[in-house]
Homo-oligomer: A and B are copies of this chain.
Amino acid sequence: MPHLTLEYSKNLDTFSAGAALLDINRALLASGQFEEADIKSRAIALDCCQIGVQDLPRAFIHAKLAILSGRSPEEKQRLSELSLQALADSAALPPGVEVQLCVEIQEIDRASYGKRFIAR
């Protein structure tokens, strides 16, 4: 934890997902809330999307940040805002497409979260 999942519609062919992950990870690290190696992020390109019911040039990038339960509403808002800002800064978006950028914060139940670190 934290686990970040970035989903984006594949019509955003100018979007560099790897660079965006690194930028968001840097912002999360700078928040002072997380250990560096704990920030685990992944991006998933979505081949099959449907926004609304109309056939228009639309796209979205959605970030879900999953953190252990127990943080205050203010901390969660701040993590959401800095993730959204990092995403907006890093996303080179194509003209002529309506793009929705979204961030949600999801809590992971702390008591049942398990983790092992394996190095050999």
Copies of this chain present in the complex amount to 3
Q: Please, which residues of chain B bring their CB within 8 A of the CB of A13?
A: none
Closest Cβ of chain B to A96, distance in Å, is 8
- With known contacts A52-B36, A60-B40, A77-B111, A118–B98 Cβ distance under 8 A: yes
* Number of residues from A at the complex interface, CB < 8 A: 68
Asked whether, in the complex, the Cβ of A53 is within 8 Å of the Cβ of B29, the reply is yes
Q: Please, which residues of chain B bring their CB within 8 A of the CB of A106?
A: 108-109
Cβ-defined partner of A101 (8 Å) among B21, B25, B115: B115
Closest Cβ of chain B to A86, distance in Å, is 12
Closest Cβ of chain B to A51, distance in Å, is 5
Asked whether, in the complex, the Cβ of B109 is within 8 Å of the Cβ of A113, the reply is no
Q: Please, which residues of chain B bring their CB within 8 A of the CB of A76?
A: 109, 111-112
* Measured CA separation A77–B111 after assembly (Å): 7
Contact sample, A vs B, 8 pairs, CB 8 Å cutoff: A1-B102, A18-B48, A21-B48, A22-B50, A25-B52, A37-B100, A102-B113, A106-B109
